[in-house]
Structure 1
Amino acid sequence: MEGENAGSALPPMHPAIAPLSFLLGRWKGQGEGGFPTINSFAYGEELLFSHSGKPAPSLLQPVIAYSQKTWKLASGEPMHAESGYWRPKPDGSIEVVIAQSTGLVEVQKGTYDTESKAITLQSELVGNASKVKEITRVFKEVDGELSYVVQMATMMTSLQPHLKALLKKI
């Protein structure tokens, strides 16, 4: 929602979140997708990465909340949405959970590199998916632009490119 944090100060950043502070904020841009079993397509996209400043009492470490939505470029009609939590650890590893609007759930583990501003994720579990067996995601921030590539493997195909996008902070 536009302006949902208008007028409210951001909470202080927890030190565990600091290595991924470049992600924080709202990103908007365009992407393209395809796969051997579907036609190629283009889409608009918005990502939001936010934090609460400190961990919930039940969490050992704070998290970055993540939400994403996409739409058809021509009509603005909604296409896909997902949300989840990113939990960076001091050793450079990261755990991510994502629930997609399609009902699919991803549990991913990976690494982040603060110098190159890159995050590499590999699925540990893809739940509620009859065909998808593996998903990887690679995010990189360069010169104020956030790019990503999503690869996917199904029961019928090996791991190959599915989505890529380039977003700017708004």
Structure 2
Amino acid sequence: MIEIPSDLHKDVVPLAFLLGTWEGAGVFDFPGTEKCNFGQEIVIRHDGRPFLEFRSRTWVLNEQGEKVRPLESEHAFWRITSNHDGTSGARGIEISSVRDDGTVEIWYGELADGKPQIDVSTDAVARIEGSPEYSGGKRLYGFVNGELLWVGEKAAPNVPLRPYMSAQLKKVLSPAQLVKDINDLPDDGIAFFK
């Protein structure tokens, strides 16, 4: 079930399925870098204005699933826009993001009509000196069976666009939600287990 907060700005209601803290794992694989499994935490929140704030942290995992070192961090703002191609049905999405490696991106795409799926591509990429070579990307996000799944594609001057990162994330319940759920248990608590 997708909850829509009462103070969520009306312009971003179609993105309500993204709200919350998500955690999980995925695979990272791009030429010139070491292939690895990674852990990820994504926090998507709102403050009543017409955008969502997106924060992602990833870290390399060892074979036992333990954190080894940071991989990437990203901070972005997601907005709903009118469609750039004038089509009806799907809604336009624009994202402005910055990564810890000094890359700044502008993404455009759309929210699928009738399902919680987002497809975006880079429109502009800027890099500071010393950041990895990168010329553009694509991402697909989907809310499937209560989980957030995503895949990212990346291109560099000598590498054509190809999948490089994907993850499966589960929503983390907040302590406030857990307390609310506990209040629904029978008074003695034991009846729950019978």
Partner of 1:123: 122
Q: Distance in 2 between matches of 1:90 and 1:156?
A: 34
Q: Distance in 2 between matches of 1:40 and 1:15?
A: 41
Partner of 1:135: 137
1:17 maps onto 2:17 in alignment: no
**Relative CO higher for 1 or 2, CA cutoff 8 Å, sep ≥ 6?**
1
> Quick check: which one's helix share is greater?
2
**For 2:35, what is the secondary structure of its paired residue?**
strand
1:52 maps onto 2:54 in alignment: no
Q: Distance in 2 between matches of 1:109 and 1:34?
A: 24
1:37 maps onto 2:32 in alignment: yes
1:79 maps onto 2:71 in alignment: yes
1:113 deviates by: 1.9
Letter in 2 for 1:98: S
1:150 maps onto 2:152 in alignment: yes
Of 49, 53, 58, the residue aligned with 1:65 is 53
**For 1:132, what is the secondary structure of its paired residue?**
coil
Aligned residues between the structures: 154
TM-score, with length taken from structure 1: 0.85
1:73 deviates by: 2.1
Partner of 2:169: 167
1:111 maps onto 2:126 in alignment: no
Q: Distance in 1 between matches of 2:29 and 2:41?
A: 19
Are 2:110 and 2:119, in contact at CA under 8 Å, matched by a contact in 1?
Answer: yes
Partner of 2:93: 94
Letter in 1 for 2:12: I
Are 1:11 and 1:52, in contact at CA under 8 Å, matched by a contact in 2?
Answer: no
1:102 deviates by: 0.5
Gapped regions of structure 1 (runs ≥ 5): 1-9, 56-61
Are 2:43 and 2:56, in contact at CA under 8 Å, matched by a contact in 1?
Answer: yes
Q: Distance in 2 between matches of 1:71 and 1:114?
A: 33
TM-score, with length taken from structure 2: 0.75
Letter in 2 for 1:89: T
Q: Distance in 1 between matches of 2:72 and 2:152?
A: 14
Provide, for residues 43-83 of structure 1, a one-character-per-residue CA deviation record: whole Å limited to 9, x for no partner: 10000111111x3xxxxxx1100000011223423221110
> Quick check: which one's strand share is greater?
1
Q: Give the structure with higher Rg (CA).
A: 2
Gapped regions of structure 2 (runs ≥ 5): 84-90, 173-194
